[in-house]
Structure 1
Amino acid sequence: MNLYFVRHGETKENQGGSYYGSLDVELTEQGILQSHRAEEILRDINFKTVYISEKKRAEQTADILLKNKHCNLIRDSRINETNFGEFEGKAYDKIKELYPAEWKLWCENWRDFAPPGGESYLQVYGRVKSFMDDILKLDEENILIVTHGGVIRSIYCYILGGNLDFFWSFGSKNCDITLIKYEYGNLFIDSITHV
């Protein structure tokens, strides 16, 4: 099985370095161009099933990637980006200024700390693990998953035995294409392509 993970194209919040997950924002012109470049790379691959997060940026990216393709499109909340609660839409320095106590807790225990009204990375990993456990039960050759940077990093951790220590060991740029293969019971990262 070939699992093609694509991070959505660039948004204005990416440009500004904001933490955002639950904000439902659209792609920039650059994000649209990135999505078209990714579509060229994936053009000749036949996808029967495509999973996307519930966010506009993932849907817009998928629409471009699937140009002229007829696929079973499934929205799955388990691959939504981290909900940063009251930190949503704010850059790191602004969070530090507005929420000094919470920021300190976040820095000391990033895995377990949930911003006010948000979720922790451990909670995000839990839903990503549930998604991956279900995906690996499918019998399909190629599956496309259009999602978010935090989700993709969580998937890398899943491949590495669920160790969240690896979360910050990988980058995830807008419209990166990650090919993960599942063969003979083994799950491995085959390639990461920057567009």
Structure 2
Amino acid sequence: MKVLLVRHAETEWNQRGIIQGHKDSPLTVRGAQETAALLAALASYPIACVYASPLGRAWQMGQALAGHFDCPLVAHTALKEQAFGHYEGMPSAQLRDEYPYEAEALFAKDAAFCPPGGESLAHASQRIIDFIQQQQQTAAHQTLCIVTHGQVSQGVLALLKEGNIDNFSRYAQPNASYSVFEMTEGQCITLRWGIATHLRTLTLHK
């Protein structure tokens, strides 16, 4: 089974550096441009189905992809972003100023750290890994697209690449970037991650 792991396009809170988690914000103008660039970049993939987080920003990307490829679109709660609990709606700069230890643990050091009222990255990432492995049982020879979120993608990619989540901060996945991997018997056998070459022109003209 081949999987394309896609991050949603830029939102207003992404642009302003506000922690989203299970909260949402509208796409920016740039986000719409990123979506169009991603659709063009993925044109050669024979995507059979798109699975998306039901959170608005990911669902919009899922709708665009499913419409482009004329394939089914399925929402699944397992694909949601990590829940950041009480930190949701807070500027990340404020979190770093007021709670520097917690901010470092959350974004760089400790996948087991659980924000107050939220969930750990380790837990959030494992629910997506479990979802991917479940799909392999019914779609072993298909190409699937999974639309999810930035923080949790880092944990998933670390688990697929290294077999553990410790180095999750290495696996940044920019808005509207994608990763490609193949799964055989529940194991990842190839992986290209954080592909964003289709966004270069947009970056130059931001």
Give the distance between the partners of 2:87 and 2:3, measured in 1 at CA: 32
Say if 2:9 and 2:35, in contact at 8 Å, map to a contact too.
yes
Which segments of 5 or more consecutive residues in structure 2 lack a partner in the other structure? 200-206
Which segments of 5 or more consecutive residues in structure 1 lack a partner in the other structure? none
Q: Which amino acid aligns with 1:3?
A: V
Give the distance between the partners of 2:11 and 2:42, measured in 1 at CA: 21
2:4 corresponding residue in structure 1 = 4
Give the distance between the partners of 1:126 and 1:142, measured in 2 at CA: 21
Q: CA deviation at 1:167?
A: 0.3
Give the distance between the partners of 1:179 and 1:96, measured in 2 at CA: 32
Supply the RMSD in Å over aligned alpha carbons: 2.2
Q: CA deviation at 1:116?
A: 1.6
Say if 2:121 and 2:152, in contact at 8 Å, map to a contact too.
no
Q: TM-score, normalised by structure 1?
A: 0.87
Q: CA deviation at 1:151?
A: 2.5
Give the distance between the partners of 1:170 and 1:126, measured in 2 at CA: 16
Say if 1:39 and 1:66, in contact at 8 Å, map to a contact too.
no
Once the two structures are overlaid, the 10-residue window that deviates more, 32-41 or 44-53, is: 44-53
Describe the SS at the equivalent of 1:160.
helix
Once the two structures are overlaid, the 10-residue window that deviates more, 65-74 or 45-54, is: 65-74
1:164 corresponding residue in structure 2 = 165
Counterpart among 99, 104, 114 of residue 101 in structure 2: 104
Q: Which runs of 4+ in 1 moved over 6 A?
A: none
2:195 corresponding residue in structure 1 = 193
Matches within 5 A, 1:43-54: 43-54=43-54
Q: CA deviation at 1:54?
A: 1.0
Q: Deviations over 1:154-176 (max 9, x none)?
A: 22122135311120112210100
Q: Deviations over 1:69-117 (max 9, x none)?
A: 332211111111011111002123322455x4xx535545732222221
Q: Which amino acid aligns with 2:64?
A: I
Say if 2:158 and 2:171, in contact at 8 Å, map to a contact too.
no
Describe the SS at the equivalent of 1:66.
helix
Q: CA deviation at 1:122?
A: 1.9
Q: Which amino acid aligns with 1:163?
A: N
Say if 1:36 and 1:65, in contact at 8 Å, map to a contact too.
no
Identity of aligned residues (%): 26
Q: Which amino acid aligns with 1:50?
A: V
1:134 corresponding residue in structure 2 = 134
Describe the SS at the equivalent of 1:19.
coil
Inter-CA distance 125–69: structure 2 relative to 1 (3 Å threshold): closer
- The number of residues matched between the two structures is 192
2:155 corresponding residue in structure 1 = 154
Q: CA deviation at 1:191?
A: 5.4
Inter-CA distance 62–125: structure 2 relative to 1 (3 Å threshold): closer
Q: TM-score, normalised by structure 2?
A: 0.82
